[in-house]
Structure 1
């Protein structure tokens, strides 16, 4: 394994503290912007600290995905798109550094300026910024992109658009956004929206674009070739306008980024073993130890890299849809958690090698602390005490089994909880007083072998309670459609979370998102306490208040019993061709969005 440099939690906390001490307002145009204080890198920085400015250009990376796609526009609600295109297929005014909790540096924009309280933010475009067709990126393109994405684009863009009171051109290359409310993060969020070419869409329906239109962007990669549902190939643009920017030095090193699509994970893994793919992330610890023993590994042509990180675990597991009557009662959800025999499932699936997710922000400084809520966390939550579920203030832990297949104690507890909620076993079947059977549908994407295996074990446990759910496995396109419409009782759920939670939290847990199709609020929760904690983390003016708000939110989410968590990935496991290299220094986010295609290089 390669030696890597990695910040400790203590170092990260110290870094955030130092940032928090700095002033908040930017008095003049700056090269970057941070959530608190000033960016760590000076205006004359050479490259991002986790990029190799001397990395050679060339080579290719080929990765696999399970599923299919029917659109090349990742910015609309309709259709299924290769998820990587959202990050590789466009650029924004500012670019993010994944070695700082939330800091942006100039990309399409050469500078950013904000009002004293960040009530507005003004960006000045670089004169040299160009789209891949050679045309300049203009203020008109920026304004069109924001309005289009904010109105007919994917719902992820609507929240920020709703908080923009106005945008105006303030110079030949400058644009100012004025905000409707106090929210420190908005100045950063407007800097991260994709900028698209207005002229391309003048005679086309942006919201309905599928495979017939390849979006033009200013990004270093352009879509070079594709076959519907089979593969997408992106080629590095040799005329990319920003190749000499400090932010881009050591990035976009590979000549080709290719994504191959497969019907299931088994076929994808066999393609990797056969050399069709040259990089593969492995999420199963037992498989990593037992099945990565093939000729290319033995010869050294493929190497195994283990990469740590300090970002939140996020939440991965099976979400219960509270829009459905079957899961409205928290006691029923609690029963489902007790019936889920994690210790036995973890031993079966990973040889007990993976630690369990204990809360949404576990594995990070933002995670809730064990035991009763104290200090500022309790102070923030107490106004909502009457509506908080048991355990939020007192302390909550996930049910723990004894590791045996029968899980007797937890099954007994689950039965008791169901009885409290009005359900008992009658003639071998769980029913209510009216004789209605308790059942629900678990919707999965076909080809997801690991999820299916976990659910098979779970269903066997539920049968012992007189509950026999329906398990429906459908193709990725159908699954995407049902998922977007919240057309499920229970489904697989994975929500990555960052060290800098902000407005996106409303899309995940907010009341408005619960009623918005396509949002991340799969569970349909609407919690005044969660809404208030999101407000606090967005308006906190000190690190202590910010941490307390996130830890309080973590308590509300975890004690809400909305998701049955499985294991977390507190390290990344990537098997890759020996020619694919990465820098010795890892960002604090580790193997995060874009890190591999952004800073890896190919070297014979």
Structure 2
């Protein structure tokens, strides 16, 4: 398949979603979309990118950097294995990654919504069971909603706070009524994980640890594990959901094993040796030169480039505006000029991948170049006096000349710092009282752009050398992953390496990323500490949009506020996923719109023995 095929598919999907929205009558339905109708009609056999005839069995070994000390993936404390959340637990509905945002019934057989989406009702499948054979009940759904919203990770609380009532309406049905108008809330609740009430009601849910091995309804159960070394998830032979249409052709592999390594370089060596089966490479230069080893030459390892149409997201060095000097946009802008992107990219990445130009670049949701126009300008104009410079008139990242000296941008950085009250005195950048500018860049040991392919420390070292040219000497602190998690959870840093994935259907999670409440909530994803009434208004506009056109305008406006805010010094992204894997691992020819994303590997893959 060619990329043009996927681009055409995406345009078609957006066109369908952009049509006048037909009313969602209060009647049971097999699926729900953020806008328009689900692409798949009732009675569909499988998702279009899944193979219902895929063989089952075998195993896959993933490599992870770090470790884990908890099996509870729903709380703020501790580090948990990714696979536990994704494959041991299920939600009422499941997402199709071939549509911008559409859900189809999983634990819930049907979904029913009010015309204005002021409430949503789910009816459970009578055959839905936990892995211990007990039935999934409405009581489990209600318990899960409450425990996650009150004691779970802060990411669950935004939706919980917007529910005015949750009640059982029938033997297998539950209704949630909302306090506020928000088109996304029915979908958000459809994706809430369902826990077994009888297992957790007598436990301290907020305690991190390994003493409780969670029971879920998902395709896998927790098998053998050793904290800090590995964990295995075994496919449940009695998994109740194997024949549900949205699950047909998914979760085919018998055992998912996650091995943990101290750093990315060791992980890559393990992949070369064959003890790890798959390796995602985000570094184009590394992709070109690092795979001339025996298992590639023999055909045991396959290199695949998988296209996608998802946003670039944001990745780079985030500045904490809770701390001086990054509370001043001029200082943040100066950092953007000192950061010699062109030289860093050429040195570490071969200059092949494009730079992230905005939070939603590489997608139809990205802000347009130049001044804001039309509906985007209308949305932003009420906040004109408080917007960061360039939000309305147009903002682009500074471009260097490609040389290590980067003289023009350094001069501009010095001018911006002077405007903010900082000047070079005796070879150091100092304020009016003679105090030198200094700040701490906190990194996790083994931190990498791609588990060793590009060491983040290399990026920071080149940046630090450039800072010294303008009289700034940052402190670079490498700490172990546990300390790093603790410090970033508490926002105890000046600058840190940051990644925030963004989808083609941003919604309520944006409040956790950018809202004022999130800025004051430890564990939220608003690492930069931004408090922007304009950003919050754009999020509200997104969630209350009645058409695809209005929604896209609101996201484009939000993108302008975020990008012109100069909170993150961005690096690069790729419009393909570079995936090296054991040749026995196979996936369908038909790829989802999101490409190599959540729900692709290992969900629709299988092992060809």
Q: TM-score range by the shorter chain?
A: over 0.9
Q: CA deviation at 1:4?
A: 5.5
Cα shift readout 1:339-396 (whole Å, capped 9, x = no counterpart) = 0000000001111111100000000000001111111111111111001111101111
Q: CA deviation at 1:510?
A: 0.6
Q: How does 1:202-213 map to 2 (within 5 A)?
A: 202-213=201-212
2:536 is matched with 531
1:97 is matched with 96
Structure 1 consecutive aligned stretches of length 4 or more whose deviation exceeds 6 Å: none
Q: CA deviation at 1:17?
A: 2.6
Partners of 1:553 and 1:202 in 2: how far apart? 40
Q: CA deviation at 1:594?
A: 3.1
Partners of 1:337 and 1:389 in 2: how far apart? 15
1:151 paired with 2:150, answer: yes
2:440 is matched with 441
1:417 is matched with 416
Partners of 1:539 and 1:349 in 2: how far apart? 43
SS of corresponding position for 2:302:
strand
Q: How does 1:129-278 map to 2 (within 5 A)?
A: 129-278=128-277
Partners of 2:165 and 2:605 in 1: how far apart? 40
1:486 paired with 2:491, answer: yes
1:453 is matched with 458
Q: CA deviation at 1:202?
A: 2.7
CA contact (8 A) 2:84 2:222 kept: no
SS of corresponding position for 1:316:
strand
CA contact (8 A) 1:17 1:543 kept: no
CA contact (8 A) 1:129 1:241 kept: yes
1:17 is matched with 15
CA contact (8 A) 1:69 1:477 kept: no
Q: How does 1:294-373 map to 2 (within 5 A)?
A: 294-373=293-372
SS of corresponding position for 2:410:
helix
CA contact (8 A) 2:18 2:549 kept: no
CA contact (8 A) 1:280 1:575 kept: yes
CA contact (8 A) 1:306 1:573 kept: yes
CA contact (8 A) 2:438 2:472 kept: yes
Partners of 1:89 and 1:415 in 2: how far apart? 53
CA contact (8 A) 2:308 2:593 kept: yes
Q: CA deviation at 1:11?
A: 4.1
Partners of 2:149 and 2:564 in 1: how far apart? 33
Could you say what the CA RMSD is over the residues aligned between the two structures, in angstroms?
A: 1.0
SS of corresponding position for 1:599:
coil
Aligned pairs, how many? 602
Partners of 1:445 and 1:209 in 2: how far apart? 21
2:551 is matched with 546
CA contact (8 A) 2:359 2:366 kept: yes
Cα shift readout 1:402-450 (whole Å, capped 9, x = no counterpart) = 1001111001100110000000111111110011110000000001251
CA contact (8 A) 2:3 2:307 kept: no
Cα shift readout 1:298-332 (whole Å, capped 9, x = no counterpart) = 00010001001000000000000000022000000
Partners of 1:567 and 1:600 in 2: how far apart? 28
1:531–1:340 distance in 2 versus 1, CA, 3 Å: same
CA contact (8 A) 1:537 1:549 kept: yes
2:68 is matched with 69
Partners of 2:25 and 2:80 in 1: how far apart? 38
SS of corresponding position for 1:194:
coil
CA contact (8 A) 1:339 1:462 kept: yes
Cα shift readout 1:484-536 (whole Å, capped 9, x = no counterpart) = 00010000000000000100000000111000000010000011110010000
SS of corresponding position for 1:287:
helix
CA contact (8 A) 1:155 1:519 kept: yes
How high is the TM-score relative to the length of structure 2? Answer: 0.98
CA contact (8 A) 1:4 1:586 kept: no
Q: CA deviation at 1:89?
A: 2.5
SS of corresponding position for 1:300:
coil
CA contact (8 A) 1:94 1:107 kept: yes
Partners of 1:10 and 1:54 in 2: how far apart? 27
Partners of 2:36 and 2:423 in 1: how far apart? 57
CA contact (8 A) 1:31 1:43 kept: yes
Q: CA deviation at 1:80?
A: 1.0
CA contact (8 A) 1:168 1:175 kept: yes
CA contact (8 A) 1:360 1:367 kept: yes
Q: How does 1:449-528 map to 2 (within 5 A)?
A: 449=448, 450-528=455-533
CA contact (8 A) 1:72 1:81 kept: yes
How high is the TM-score relative to the length of structure 1? Answer: 0.98
Partners of 1:251 and 1:594 in 2: how far apart? 9
CA contact (8 A) 1:6 1:588 kept: no
Aligned mate of 1:600, from 584, 601, 605: 605
Partners of 1:402 and 1:486 in 2: how far apart? 34
Q: Which runs of 5+ in 2 are unaligned?
A: 449-454
Partners of 2:487 and 2:399 in 1: how far apart? 32
Cα shift readout 1:428-478 (whole Å, capped 9, x = no counterpart) = 111100111100000000012511110011000000011000001111111
Partners of 1:8 and 1:597 in 2: how far apart? 21
SS of corresponding position for 2:206:
helix
